[in-house]
Structure 1
Amino acid sequence: MSMQSSGSSRPNATEQAYQAIRKNILTGKLEEGERLTETRLSDDLGLSRTPIREAIGRLVLEGFIERQSGYTTRVAHFPEDEAEQIYEIRRLMECYSVQRAARLATEEDIAELRRINAAMKADTPPRDEAANQRLTEANEAFHRAIVAAARSPRLTALMTTALDVSMVVRTYSMYSEKDLMRSLNHHAEIIDAIEARAPKWAASVMSAHLLAGASRVAARMQHSKSVADQ
């Protein structure tokens, strides 16, 4: 009985550690480049080192934490140039993807996009951390659903890298309420363009959508740099 209790508690503790560390990275409580130790995180979170170690491993795979020489781990750096590159790569690939989707999407694909966007609208602006988490995950799901509707396994494989979890989440967390509303409006127009079977219209809105996101992230990062230099 005691063995079962111990085994069933570990996933909960690991998930708790993962969510807490991830949140502290996203909010800036744990700063980029900051060194992380199991002992310190264990003390801060009131959890044993085993779930902390497992959570760190998951966050390394997702790109939130970097493992360096020896056993040293640090919060991953997020260079401005990297964000700029990834947004441009996404813009090129997602504009192509949405053009294919405008030609090939089924009624079920379009209904799923509308369902996701309605769920995002219900959580905007996010009232708490749980709503913010749902909103972030829904945004990622929306873009992945468009790629799926493009009916191209090769494109799906390429977009898996471009829609990197840590990049999407860390940039989307920078959006203001105004940014979120603009994003939702873009989503709605993208769906309309797909439903209208208008590839050029869909690509034009997708391009504007990602350029707006890139501009917001660049502005927020520049602001953070200015504050740090003061």
Structure 2
Amino acid sequence: MPSQPNKLAAAEYAYRSIRSDIVSGALAEGERLTEERLSRVLGLSRTPVRDAIRRLTHEGFIVRQSGYTTRVARFPEDEMKQAFDIRQMLESYACERAAMLATDEEVALITQYSEEIASLTPPKNEDEYARITEANEAFHRTIAQAARSPRLSALMTMAFDVGMVVRTYRRYSEEELIRSAGHHREIADAIRAKSPEWAGSAMRTHIRAAQTAAGKAQDDAKDEPASK
């Protein structure tokens, strides 16, 4: 769980702490969450915890059920496949547009994030995992911004399940992480070269590889209880 800097707002601290526990598996899929227990564990009032839960629900890490019950989200296999299929279509198109429309500043940012991911791969500790995750999210977010399409951005926001992406990413093997870092670099190269065909193809490859790795991670997770 991250330490609590003095300048970090309580709601942001609660968000990062709960998110970290979900991603690491400290809070298991389907586990019931209560504001009272989380407030006690975090040493915070219920208001910032409630704000954090609302944000994590929007991002897909948490689901609300009937009777105000709140649980850590589960990711059914078919739902995961649909999410990656939709991501491939939307992000590949966004990448093609970014290759044509990205500003020099956006190209520099996309390149910077890809190099940061590469420099931290494979991650050696929790801090480096967190930094890669943040750089990965910023990389994809900047490409969406560079696509210059509010309609596309709205569709991507609805379809993009941050929780699923982050949690499966944490189960990648070292080889898969290195491959993913290479994909980020190639996508950045394609956008910098202003080649929409190359950029779209590189993004499709990246997402398909991510889907394969996520499927393998999900299968491994199913096998874990039986092996204990």
What's the TM-score bracket when you normalise by the shorter of the two chains?
0.7 to 0.9
Structure 1 segment 83-94 matched on structure 2, within 5 A? 83-94=80-91
- One-letter code aligned to 2:159: A
Residue matched to 1:72: 69
Shift of 1:54: 3.4
Alpha-carbon separation, structure 1, partners of 2:85 and 2:24: 25
Mapped pair 1:143 → 2:137: no
5+ residue gaps, structure 1, are 1-8
In structure 2, the residue matched to 1:37 is 34
Which of 155, 158, 181 lines up with 2:155 in the alignment? 158
Which letter maps to 1:146? Answer: I
Q: Which among 194, 198, 201 is matched to residue 197 of structure 1? A: 194
Indicate how the Cα distance of structure 1 residues 102 and 51 shifts in structure 2: closer, same or farther if over 3 A, else same: closer
Please give the per-residue CA displacement for 1:176-225, whole angstroms capped at 9, x wherever unaligned.
33222211111111122223332222222211111100000000101111
1:53 counterpart residue number: 50
Secondary structure of 1:20's counterpart equals helix
* Corresponding residue for residue 187 of structure 1: 184
Measure how far apart 1:142 and its partner are.
1.0
Measured after TM superposition, the shift of residue 47 of structure 1 is 4.1
What is residue 3 of structure 1 aligned with on the other side? none
Change (3 A) 1:194 1:226: same
- How far residue 46 of structure 1 moved from its aligned partner, in angstroms, is 4.3
Over 3 Å counting, the alpha-carbon distance change for 1:223 and 1:152 in structure 2 is: same
- Structure 2 residues without counterparts, runs of 5 or longer: 1-5
106, 118, 122: which is aligned to 1:121? 118
Q: 1:61 to 1:106 in 2, by over 3 A?
A: closer
Which residue, out of 217, 220, 225, partners 1:223? 220
2-structure distance, mates of 1:27, 1:67: 21
TM-score by length of 1: 0.85
Equivalent-residue separation in structure 2 for 1:147 and 1:71 (angstroms): 34
Tell me the equivalent position of 1:24. 21
User: Helix, strand or coil: the match of 2:97?
Assistant: helix
2-structure distance, mates of 1:59, 1:74? 11
Aligned residues: 222
What is the DSSP-based 3-state SS (H/G/I as helix, E as strand, rest coil) of the residue aligned with 2:148? coil
Give the C-alpha shift of residue 48 in structure 1.
Answer: 4.3
Q: What's the TM-score, normalizing by structure 2?
A: 0.85
| Matched-pair identity in % | 54
- Cα distance in 2, alignment partners of residues 106 and 43 from structure 1: 47
Q: Output the amino acid matched with 1:76.
A: A
For the pair 1:109 / 2:102, whether they are aligned, the reply is: no
Worse overlay, 50-59 or 218-227: 50-59
Which residue does 2:3 correspond to in 1?
none
